[in-house]
Structure 1
Amino acid sequence: MTEYIPPSSPDMFAPRYSGLATFMRTPVASSLADVDIGLLGIPYDGALTNRPGARHGPREVRNQSSLMRAINHATRVNPYELCRIADVGDVPFDSVFDIEATHKNITDFVAQMVARNVIPLSCGGDHSVSLPILRAVAHEPVALIHIDAHTDTWDSFQGSKFNHGAPFRRAHEEGLIDPKKTVQIGIRGAQNMSEGWDYSEQAGMRVMFIEEVQERGISAIVEEARTVVGEGPVYLSFDIDSIDPAFAPGTGTPEVAGLTTAEAMALIRGFRGLNYVGADVVEVSPPFDVGGMTALAGATVMYELLCVLAEARSTR
């Protein structure tokens, strides 16, 4: 009998309904020693303020990511030729009813990757998970590209400072992000108070509401955003609710009149060549999805991010 040898690279020619459901059909990492970019799941939604279900996001995004192929049709980038990429699994939790303890689990997991020079590309989970990731990757205040319907710079909610509407306020307070090199794109939706918008703008963050994005166009937004973040270390966080619910209904806090999926892809491709320390896709909630379309959007965003991260890593 032929000896079993685990696959060392994704088999892009296997039927897309076959095999283990890993991110992009990449092999499961047996260690971090031979990994350049680690794809990880963060199945946690204990910091939500509205509709639950994002804890199931990583599993369904893995399923839908089997539809991804190797070569990007727009950029002709094949990330698997540029870097060693693997699914490093899900962050293990031991106190899911304690937000701060869970955040520490996330930080500790990602810190192991960073210590081995592995770039993390994660799938959440609610948006609170960006804070503990930043604690692991930001050895100095980093630039931030934040694509979202909400600024996520509100303060406490129901007594918690670590809810999913507050990660970038906490990150600013902790000196993890440079507000002068932070751009928030696609912001929209009525609020009962202007606290989050006000905090971002007063801290010096560049807030681009959706009306500005639509009026100026993606190319102009990308050009200014690249000027804002500069050439230093940058982290990109993509909330799926930045996309209009016509394209991505399965999320906790949907807001109408958002980005189209085409605009979302163009944004990410516009941020090629930056000095990335990591990226995330968050807030995919399969229980509210329709036909897997939100999970597919999340998987496609993750693939586009993988392409820009692989380019960045290969040129270092």
Structure 2
Amino acid sequence: MKYKPLIEVGTGKPQYSGIYTFMHLPHVKTFEEVDYAIIGVPFDTGVSYGIGARFGPSAIRTMSQRIMPISRHHAVNTSDYLSGIDYGDLTVYPGYIEQTYKAIEEQLTPIFEAGIVPIMLGGDHSISLPHLRAAAKQHGPVALVHFDSHTDTGRSATPERMWNHGCVFSYAVDEGLVDPHHSIQMGMRGSAYAANMLEESRAMGFEVMTTDDVKTISIPELCRKIKERVGDRPVFLTFDVDFLDPVYAPGTGTPEVGGFSTSEAQQMLRGLAGIDFIGFDLVEVLPDRDASYVTALNAANIAFEFVALLAASRRLHVLEENQAEAI
């Protein structure tokens, strides 16, 4: 069985009707014949400032209702090449971060084992650590492609605050989940507590590009740099919505001015076709600060770009297989 959006052109069913799954994908919990799964992770105990990202998955799903399966940029109907589902939300335990981490890892492990690419909707950025733990079980240390206004490679001064959204990738490196020497972080900006915060991330092995660094080169140049950095390794892409300027993403807990437009972010993602993506997450959407739902709308469209990347790669594989058979 091939899973695809439940509402198609000509059915007469309004796009706003029915249960709000992502892009009207069927809500089923199965590992059979599935290429990718949209998965909500409604957890925000790891935040340091604005609270409410636990409601992010619901808001993103709501604003995804008008997203259709065809990517104009890639000229591909995602439903022709991929079978996708909305798996629903993972079980989490608000206020209990280590218990939640364990639960998230346990729930994601069979998804990775089944060869399904999870597209996780957060939730705060602390959830990336159990995501990476589950991914590394199947793929070993992964290359990280990280869009954000913060490196999230800090160190907590107290043990009880170790697992917060500002420290997630330093601990991912410590645990051997991420290969920092083939990973890249982009969009860092804003004020800081310490002048050497970026250098600490670079010392771990990450390539770090500030917003100014990114804006001094063209988007195609940036995409080439990312591809060269990750090579043919399995790649986990994480996108913090505060990578976008607050004009485009006011609904987030730690906004930083001087960021990127939605159009720029789309172009950056579209230029990454061909990378071996094994997982994605999109985090830090905070609906209570998103009066017009523009942040959730932009986040939903960014998640669609993830789906389109998978479809473009699958189409390329199909073409290569057909060419090989014809020889």
| Alignment TM class, shorter chain as reference | over 0.9
Secondary structure, aligned partner of 1:67 = coil
Residues 288 and 36 of structure 1: CA distance in aligned 2, closer, same or farther (over 3 Å)? same
Unaligned runs of 5+ in 1: 1-6
Equivalent of residue 10 in structure 1, options 6, 9, 15:
6
Instruction: Label 1:291 to 1:205 Cα distance change in 2 as closer, same or farther (>3 A).
Output: same
Distance in 2, Cα, partners of 1:84 & 1:21: 18
SS in 2 for 1:65: coil
SS of the aligned residue for 1:96 comes to: coil
1:47/1:90 CA distance change after superposition, 3 Å: same
Whole-Å Cα distance in 2 between the matches of residues 186 and 152 of structure 1?
12
What is the CA deviation profile of residues 68-89 of structure 1, one whole-angstrom value per residue up to 9, with x for unaligned ones?
1111121112211111100001
The aligned counterpart of 1:141 is 141
Paired residue secondary structure (2:208): strand
TM-score (ref. length: structure 1): 0.94
- Do 2:287 and 2:293's aligned partners in 1 also have CA atoms closer than 8 Å? yes
Deviations 1:35-63 (A, max 9, x none): 11011000000000000110000001000
| Secondary structure of 2:273's aligned partner | coil
In structure 2, distance between residues paired with 1:312 and 1:280: 18
Per the alignment, residue 28 of structure 1 pairs with 27
Letter in 2 for 1:10: L
CA contact (8 A) 2:4 2:83 kept: no
Shift of residue 157, structure 1, vs aligned partner: 5.7
1:173-218 deviation per Cα after TM superposition (whole angstroms, max 9, x unaligned): 1111111111001111111114541221111211010001112121
For the Cα contact (< 8 Å) 2:223–2:268, is it kept in 1?
yes
Question: In structure 2, what is the equivalent of residue 4 of structure 1?
Answer: none
Residues 105 and 313 of structure 1: CA distance in aligned 2, closer, same or farther (over 3 Å) = farther
Counterpart in 2 of 1:203? 204
Instruction: Encode CA deviations 1:145-171: one digit per residue, 9 max, x unaligned.
Output: 000000000111654111001111111
1:53-72 aligned at under 5 Å gives the runs: 53-72=52-71
Q: Which region of structure 1 is more displaced relative to structure 2, 158-167 or 147-156?
A: 158-167
Report the alpha carbon displacement of residue 313 of structure 1 after superposing the two structures with TM.
4.8
Matched, 1:126 2:124: yes
Q: Is the 8 A contact 2:4 2:79 kept in 1?
A: no
Partner of 2:312: 311
Per mean C-alpha deviation after superposition, the further-off stretch among 79-88 and 95-104 is 95-104
- Asked if 2 retains the 8 angstrom alpha-carbon contact of 1:157 and 1:163, the reply is no
The alpha-carbon deviation at position 24 of structure 1 amounts to 1.1
Aligned residue type for 2:174: E
CA distance in 1, matches of 2:196, 2:60: 32
The alpha carbon displacement at 1:9 in A equals 4.0
- Aligned residues with identical type, % of pairs: 38
CA RMSD of aligned residues (A): 1.5
1:147-158 map, 5 Å = 147-156=147-156
For residues 212-254 of structure 1, what are the alpha-carbon distances to aligned partners after superposition, in whole Å with 9 as ceiling and x for unaligned?
1112121211111111111110110000000000011000100
Specify the SS of the correspondent of 1:66: coil
Q: CA deviation at 1:140?
A: 1.2
Q: 2:81, 2:311 within 8 Å by CA — same for their partners in 1?
A: yes
2:103 to 102, 105, 115: 105
TM-score norm. by structure 2 comes to 0.91
